[in-house]
Amino acid sequence: MKSDEIFDLTLLQLDAATVSAQSLETIGEAVLRAPGDLVLLPEMFATGFRPDATAVAQPADGEIVTALRGWAAESGKAVAGSVAVRDGATLRNRLFFARPSGELAWYDKRHLFRPGGETGHFTPGSGRTVVEYRGLRFLLLVCYDLRFPVWSRCRRDYDVILCSAAWPESRRDVWRTLLCARALENQAWIVGTNFCGEDSSGRYAGSSAIIDCYGRFRAEAPERGAACRTVHFSLDEQNRFRERFPTWRDADDFVLKQ
């Protein structure tokens, strides 16, 4: 991708009250209708968020991931979303990034949500994942990761953050604040896709958003109701901002132990 080309980022907010009753085909239809070059889905988009996902977890080549790859291939765009995965004897909250070619990249959620019991069932990931697609570099995060700025610190190694989430209604303001903070401190666009509605795990904040490198909300979904939002992203514009206001030059150096 040339720096002056436009890339369309799309979030697809799903209603948790209906997602577990929906077939993968129904979710897939929404993905295929969505515009854009990349579509981001919520955390555990096909089953709803489950701290103990033993009953809904699938192998990495199971029905859900196979469908994700199929949507990317059929639509000609990248599709990303979190899935509860059985990996040998462990459970992983795994964010998959499916390219139209069928190639998969993934990231295992590093920061498991201890207050909700996720640490008692899942095994945390051990490393960051940055995916390159069409000349752009995407940092993959899952929900609670958003609270840990060191983990997401940009060291000139990515352009856009993708955060797949199941964020609760009670902390909606925190969700919006943290999305904005990660964009500002890293001078990077961020796409945060959340559930709305209610299921057995609780009520969700909705308010999925795309925020630019200036910290401006370029698109936001409502608190309630499934929604699709798309925004044009310009790498050239972001790079010019990073050069005009080079806070990265004054950032503290550190070594991240993984």
Domain contains 255: no
Q: Compute the distance between CA of residue 183 and CA of residue 242 in angstroms, rounded to an integer.
A: 12
Residue 95 lies in a domain: yes
109 is catalytic: yes
Q: Which of 77, 109, 196, 213 is catalytic?
A: 109
* Residue 256 covered by a domain: no
Of 53, 12, 9, residue with least CA distance to 29:
12
**Residue 190: inside a domain, yes or no?**
yes
Which one from 77, 118, 143, 169 is the annotated catalytic residue? Answer: 143
- Confidence tier at 1 by pLDDT (50, 70, 90): low
253 is a domain residue = no
HSE toward the beta carbon, residue 67, CA cutoff 13 A: 20
- Within-domain flag for 10: yes
| Residue 257 is a catalytic residue | no
**pLDDT tens digits, 87-142:** 999 999 999 999 999 999 999 999 999 988 899 999 999 999 999 999 999 999 99
Could you identify the residue written with the tokens 């004054």? 250
The residue with greater pLDDT, 251 or 258, is 251
Range of the domain at 155: 6-248
Encode pLDDT of 235-251 as tens digits.
999 999 999 999 988 88
Domain count, the chain: 1
Give the model confidence (pLDDT) of 10-51 as tens digits. Answer: 999 999 988 866 679 899 999 999 999 999 999 999 999 988
User: Residue 227 falls within a domain, yes or no?
Assistant: yes
Got the DSSP string for 121-142? TPPPP-S--EEEETTEEEEEEE
Residue 88 inside a domain? The answer is yes
Residue 158 has pLDDT above 60, yes or no: yes
Read off the pLDDT of residues 194-230 as tens digits, 9 standing for 90 and up: 999 999 889 999 999 999 999 999 999 999 999 999 9
Question: Is residue 94 classed exposed, middle or buried when 0-12, 13-18 and 19+ CB atoms within 10 A define those classes?
Answer: buried
Q: What is the pLDDT of residue 254?
A: 78
Please report, for the domain that includes residue 94, its CATH number. Answer: 3.60.110.10
- Assign 136 to helix, strand or coil: strand
Instruction: Give the active site residue among 5, 25, 29, 43.
Output: 43
The CA–CA distances, whole Å, from 19 to 43, 72, 152 equal 12, 20, 29
